Amino acid sequence: MAYELVISPAGGEENSIEDLTRQQHIPVSASVQVTSNTGSVSSVSCTIEGDAQSNLTITITGSDSFTISGTYLDPFLDYYHYVAIDSSDLLETPTIVVNSYNVPNNKLIFNLDQDTSSYRTKIFNIVIDGSETIQMTQKIYNDWIVPATFIDNYYDALYEDD
């Protein structure tokens, strides 16, 4: 059976949701309807591959449709190196965390290994009538200023009383 996805907002590629640009928490909202050129669709389900950190809700809205809403956490892998605020990497072993949302308050960030990937792709698996799977994708494009903005805001907050 031939199925087609009607996606809103649609991306530029077949079976894709509109592209997004990187943020720390990336809002996503889409609706999808599955159509068939040979009959009706009796059931549909949808899961996202390997994205346990996102805060997404996939809601089945009919036998042939569903919505996706919520947020992706920043999918780019930036490595932040930090030490205590009154220390240095010569006095203590630095701690390294992945992504800005894992950097604790009141630390001295002294190195950033920034992810230079152009984009990351989220993959959704849509199972139709229990037998056929179609993949739907969404690209998130890197905005290289996001980590710099995080560091600027981090130190603004740290030193706002000075």
CATH number, domain containing residue 28: 2.60.40.10
Radius of gyration of the chain, Cα coordinates, nearest whole angstrom: 21
Residues 15, 135 contacting (CB under 8 angstroms): yes
pLDDT band at 103 (very low <50, low <70, confident <90, very high): very high
Is the predicted pLDDT of residue 161 greater than 80, yes or no? no
Is 54 part of any domain? yes
Is 8 part of any domain? yes
Is the predicted pLDDT of residue 119 greater than 70, yes or no? yes
* 68: enclosing H helix or E strand: strand 65-73
Is the predicted pLDDT of residue 58 greater than 80, yes or no? yes
Is 80 part of any domain? no
Is 71 part of any domain? yes
Mean pLDDT over the full length of the chain: 93
Q: Domain residues for 66?
A: 3-75+117-143
Q: What is the dihedral of CA 51, 62, 70, 117, to 10 degrees?
A: 40
Residues 2, 37 contacting (CB under 8 angstroms): yes
| Predicted pLDDT of residue 52 | 67
Is 102 part of any domain? no
Average pLDDT over residues 146-150: 93
* Number of structural domains in the chain: 1
Is 132 part of any domain? yes
Is 84 part of any domain? no
